[in-house]
Structure 1
Amino acid sequence: MFFVDTVETPGLGNRGYLAGGRSTAVAVDPPRDIDRLLAPAARRGVRIALVVETHVHNDYVTGGPELARLTGAEYLVPADARVRVPRVPVADGDRTEIDDGLVLRAVATPGHTPHHTSYVLEEGGRAAAVLTGGSLLIGAVGRPDLVEPRLTRELARAQHASAHRLARELADEVPVLPTHGFGSFCSSVPSEGDATTIGRERGANDALVKDVDTFVADLLAGLEDVPAHYAHMGPVNAAGPAPIDLTPPRRADAAEVAARLAAGEWVVDLRDRTAFAEGHVAGTFNFEADGKLATYLAWLIPWGKPVTLLAAEPRQLADAQRELARVGIDRPAAAATGGPADWVGDGEAPRSFPRGTFADLVGARERGEEVVVLDVRRDSERAGGHVADSAHIPIHRLHGRLDEVPDGEVWVHCASGTRAAIAASMLDAAGREVVAVDDFFRNAERAGPTVVRRS
């Protein structure tokens, strides 16, 4: 009897897998922090004999080479992938035994990348599950525009063909186990649900219900900006990432925090947005540790710029360091724990700014107050409705466009408050008067057509 253990990385919207039998197992698309795969293998008493990649990843740093080195496993990578690490090249149809009666069969599924390969887990000669990486996802497919712009249309057509190949060759009851799609920006559209099968996708996935021309046109029309750090992940993975280093960073006192801010470095406060608004060091940015920390910080920070982390307590700091290492932000320049009173210099006071709701915003406008409303959602979100007379700069573009925000008190909002908190901290650091709208956009919609305009 085989098993499949799932290793979740919710901050990046990804999953890795450990699958095996009585004594040996395969690790599929392992995250960089490989202890999360070694632990379940130890609990089950199995040896990791194979480590496989479905593709060279663009959204996170792989732990594949290091996991293979530590365990002595064979490292299987699609044959056409351009990598500079020792590996066993895998071609369409290759079969590799994992355990007695348990076999991994490679299926070429280009689309997310030209070399993308899915793996069918076969038990007793029958398909028991398919590990689809960035090919067939839950209600979606992996986006085809992460490799080379000139290949995007060709890869979109390949995604359609690959999805149909999997649906054609596998039975309805076969579970589909993707790597991307749980909030990952590698997914072409947001995925819904936690589990699926070939049969479910056959009736619901656009790649399987639309003809190829319609599918490609709709897919390409829906693609949005690619997170900036994706440009760095592929090359890191192709070259072979260094082993993860999670040793604690050097401790910074208030003087060092001030010096790093003065030098133009990024000092990131990991506390929740309520605590940050109530008091923080002037010039710091608020990226909540419990949000999509790695995605948004890696997207917004100039690549390679030193970052100092401020955390409420050591566990928050350690978790954030691990999360950031997964996207190649390896070593914080320094770190400190505690609160604003510990991080500001003698004679200085923490800064603060107010928070509000959409009802508060409506009230301010009804009182005749002159306020600037800044929407930091993505283009597709704004297309579904926006606050009347609001400015729009998506969060991932804001740092370079702060001078475009109109003069006045800025009420900044997103869909739920998380991105608005990041934006509010950036505006505050730039010396602007800001109110962070900590509210769900649906509450703006409930205020009626005088508040929300449809595009």
Structure 2
Amino acid sequence: MFFVDTLEFEGLGNRSYLAGGARRAVVIDPPRDIDQVIAAAARRGVRIAYVAETHVHNDYVTGGLELARVTGAAYLVPAAADVSYTRTSVADGDAIGVDELLELRAVATPGHTPHHTSYVLEENGRGVAAFTGGSLLIGTVGRPDLVEPRLTEQLARAQHASVHRLADELDDEVPVLPTHGFGSFCSSSQAEGDATTIGKERTTNDALTLDVDTFVAQMLAGLEEAPAYYAHMGPTNAAGPAPVDLTAPEPADAAQIAKRLAAGEWVVDLRSRVAFADGHVAGSFNFEGEGKLATYLAWLIPWGKPVTLLADTPGQIAEAQRELARVGIDRPAAAATGDPAAWVREGEQLASFPRARFADLARVRERGEPVVVLDVRRDSERANGFVEGSVHIPIHELHGRIGEVRPGTVWVHCAGGMRAAIAASLLDAAGRDVVAVDDGFDAAVDAHLTVTRP
């Protein structure tokens, strides 16, 4: 009898898997922080005999090399992957005995990367699970443009062929277990739902219902900019990541926080956007610990810039540190918790800015007050409708383009409030008067603002 356990990483929109039998198991695409994988294996009472990578990842730092070292497992990496460490190369058709009656079969599925490999878990020679990495996802496929721009169309066509190969070789009831597609920007479009099978994908996935030319044209037209930190993930993974260090960072007092801000370092407040707006250290940035912290902080921060974390509790610092390590931000320079009033020097005050709804913006406009409306959503979101007269700068571009925002009070919005809070903190730190619109975009229509739909 076999099992498959799923480890979810919501902040990055990825999953890893532990699969095996009574005694031994394999881990597919493990995270940087391997302790939770080891704990999952301990709960099952199995030994991790193999660690398998579907590809050299572009969106997070793998823990595969360290997990293999710690557990003594064989480290399975696609043979065509250009890596600098010792591994067990796997090629198309290779079969690895995981446990009694259980084998892991490698299936070459180029597309997301040229060397991408899926793994089919077989029991008594019958496929029972397909670990598809960045190939076949739920309702979509992995994007083909993260390796080399000149290869994008070629990889898109390979992706179409790879997905068809999986569908041709596997029965309808086989579960599809991808690594990407739950919010990860490695997905060519965002998936709906959290479970699927080969049979379901056969009828719903564009890669399996459209001819190759139509599929490629549609996918390439829909690709958006990838997070900037992706440029650092592939080289880090190919070189072999260092073990992660999750020990607590150095504590920071008010004087040190001020010194770090003066030096141009980033001070990141992990508290809720409501708490941040009410009172924060002037010059600090708000990236909610409960939001997509790793994705957006790693996307916006100048790579290698020291970061100091502020939060309500040490537990929030520890969780943020774990999530940031997954994208290569390994050691916070310092951290502080507790009462925000203690984060500023004696005689100094916390900064603040107002929050509002789209209805409030409508009333301000009705009174004829001059305001700047800043939309920080992605291009694809704005293409579905935007507030008339608004300025558009996607959140990932704002830090370098604040000077383009017209003078005046800036009412900044996104689709739900989280990115608007980040943007508001960037603007506030730059000395702009700002109002954070903490509202769903549908409320703009309800507030009778003019929404233009191209």
Instruction: Give TM-score, length-normalised by structure 2.
Output: 0.99
Letter in 1 for 2:452: R
For residues 63 and 339 of structure 1, the distance between their equivalents in structure 2, rounded to whole angstroms, comes to 35
Letter in 1 for 2:266: W
| Structure 1 segments (4+ residues) deviating >6 Å | none
Partner of 2:401: 401
For residues 207 and 271 of structure 1, the distance between their equivalents in structure 2, rounded to whole angstroms, comes to 41
Deviation (angstroms), 1:446: 2.5
Deviation (angstroms), 1:148: 0.4
Letter in 1 for 2:438: D
Alignment of 1:417-432 (within 5 A): 417-432=417-432
Alignment of 1:245-260 (within 5 A): 245-260=245-260
Alignment of 1:32-51 (within 5 A): 32-51=32-51
Letter in 1 for 2:382: R
Contact 1:420 1:438 in 2 (8 A): yes
**Gap regions ≥5 residues in structure 1:** none
Instruction: Describe the superposition over 1:122-143 as per-residue Cα deviations: whole angstroms up to 9, x where unpaired.
Output: 0011000100000000000000
SS at match of 1:127: strand
Instruction: Describe the superposition over 1:339-371 as per-residue Cα deviations: whole angstroms up to 9, x where unpaired.
Output: 320100110000000000000000110111111
Mapped pair 1:366 → 2:340: no
SS at match of 1:193: coil
For residues 193 and 358 of structure 1, the distance between their equivalents in structure 2, rounded to whole angstroms, comes to 30
Residue range with higher mean Cα deviation, 337-346 or 416-425: 337-346
Deviation (angstroms), 1:211: 0.4
Partner of 2:62: 62
Contact 1:362 1:451 in 2 (8 A): no
Partner of 2:331: 331
For residues 255 and 417 of structure 2, the distance between their equivalents in structure 1, rounded to whole angstroms, comes to 31
For residues 115 and 391 of structure 1, the distance between their equivalents in structure 2, rounded to whole angstroms, comes to 41
Alignment of 1:18-417 (within 5 A): 18-417=18-417
Contact 1:77 1:90 in 2 (8 A): yes
Deviation (angstroms), 1:445: 2.5
Letter in 2 for 1:21: G
For residues 210 and 410 of structure 1, the distance between their equivalents in structure 2, rounded to whole angstroms, comes to 44
Instruction: Give aligned-pair identity as a percent.
Output: 75
Alignment coverage as a number of residue pairs: 454
Deviation (angstroms), 1:37: 0.8
Instruction: Describe the superposition over 1:293-317 as per-residue Cα deviations: whole angstroms up to 9, x where unpaired.
Output: 0000000000000000011110000
For residues 72 and 313 of structure 1, the distance between their equivalents in structure 2, rounded to whole angstroms, comes to 36
Letter in 1 for 2:171: A
Mapped pair 1:443 → 2:427: no
Deviation (angstroms), 1:58: 0.3
For residues 369 and 256 of structure 2, the distance between their equivalents in structure 1, rounded to whole angstroms, comes to 40
Partner of 1:454: 453
Instruction: Describe the superposition over 1:92-130 as per-residue Cα deviations: whole angstroms up to 9, x where unpaired.
Output: 000000000000000000000000000000001100010
For residues 316 and 276 of structure 1, the distance between their equivalents in structure 2, rounded to whole angstroms, comes to 15
For residues 318 and 38 of structure 1, the distance between their equivalents in structure 2, rounded to whole angstroms, comes to 19
Instruction: Describe the superposition over 1:146-189 as per-residue Cα deviations: whole angstroms up to 9, x where unpaired.
Output: 00000000000000000000011111110000000000000000
For residues 386 and 445 of structure 1, the distance between their equivalents in structure 2, rounded to whole angstroms, comes to 10
Contact 1:311 1:339 in 2 (8 A): no
Deviation (angstroms), 1:85: 1.2
For residues 40 and 113 of structure 1, the distance between their equivalents in structure 2, rounded to whole angstroms, comes to 29
For residues 409 and 70 of structure 1, the distance between their equivalents in structure 2, rounded to whole angstroms, comes to 54
For residues 446 and 168 of structure 1, the distance between their equivalents in structure 2, rounded to whole angstroms, comes to 48
For residues 149 and 342 of structure 1, the distance between their equivalents in structure 2, rounded to whole angstroms, comes to 49
Letter in 2 for 1:246: L
SS at match of 1:81: coil
For residues 339 and 395 of structure 1, the distance between their equivalents in structure 2, rounded to whole angstroms, comes to 29
Contact 1:143 1:186 in 2 (8 A): yes
SS at match of 1:401: helix
Deviation (angstroms), 1:447: 3.3
Instruction: Give TM-score, length-normalised by structure 1.
Output: 0.99
Deviation (angstroms), 1:74: 0.3
Instruction: Describe the superposition over 1:36-71 as per-residue Cα deviations: whole angstroms up to 9, x where unpaired.
Output: 110111011100000000000000000000000011
Deviation (angstroms), 1:338: 1.4
For residues 329 and 342 of structure 2, the distance between their equivalents in structure 1, rounded to whole angstroms, comes to 25
SS at match of 1:335: strand
For residues 339 and 120 of structure 2, the distance between their equivalents in structure 1, rounded to whole angstroms, comes to 50
**Gap regions ≥5 residues in structure 2:** none
Deviation (angstroms), 1:33: 0.6
Contact 1:269 1:311 in 2 (8 A): yes
Letter in 2 for 1:311: A
Letter in 2 for 1:281: V
For residues 445 and 168 of structure 2, the distance between their equivalents in structure 1, rounded to whole angstroms, comes to 44
Letter in 1 for 2:183: G
CA RMSD of aligned residues (A): 0.6
For residues 56 and 335 of structure 1, the distance between their equivalents in structure 2, rounded to whole angstroms, comes to 32
Letter in 1 for 2:133: G
